[in-house]
């Protein structure tokens, strides 16, 4: 892991003790597994939406289309967030706040690995 993490135009931040944990091999595996699960879920929702749409054309109504569309949009957003976390991991910025460059606590990352901001900046 590099000794400093830096965003363009910022003074380099020195990692806090224990910062090496964000470089841990578990993060790629965890994020890749989440990405696969989210892609599978999105695919299932898209198939269900398509099938419901076909049924709706044949029967002229299907109330679950809106619900399926909302779920598919939310699933696509979740997949996008996981994809962005994988890009941050590859760039060496995973686990660092995008706003203040502080380290994001491990507890926050374990709860939501896609987290982009430290608790202080997320509360703003």
Annotated domain spans of the chain: 25-92, 94-124
pLDDT value at residue 15 = 42
pTM for the whole thing?
Answer: 0.70
**Strand (E) or helix (H) holding 71:** helix 64-91
Neighbours of 41 (CB within 10 A): 16
Per-residue pLDDT of the chain (124 residues; tens, 9 = 90+): 333 344 444 433 434 434 444 557 789 999 999 999 999 999 999 998 888 766 555 555 566 788 888 999 999 999 999 999 999 999 999 999 999 999 999 999 999 999 999 999 988 6
Residue 103 phi, psi dihedral angles, 5° rounding: -70, 135
């Amino acid at each position: 892991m590099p000794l400093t993490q830096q965003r363009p135009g910022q003074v380099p931040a020195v990692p806090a003790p224990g910062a090496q944990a964000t470089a841990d091999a578990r993060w790629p595996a965890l994020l890749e597994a989440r990405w696969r699960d989210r892609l599978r879920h999105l695919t299932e929702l898209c198939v269900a939406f398509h099938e419901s749409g076909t049924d709706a054309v044949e029967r002229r109504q299907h109330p679950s289309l809106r619900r399926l569309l909302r779920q598919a949009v939310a699933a696509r957003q979740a997949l996008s967030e996981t994809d962005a976390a994988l890009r941050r991991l590859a760039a060496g910025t995973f686990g660092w706040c995008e706003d203040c460059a502080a380290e994001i606590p491990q507890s926050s990352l374990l709860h939501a690995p896609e987290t982009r901001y430290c608790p202080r900046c997320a509360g703003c």
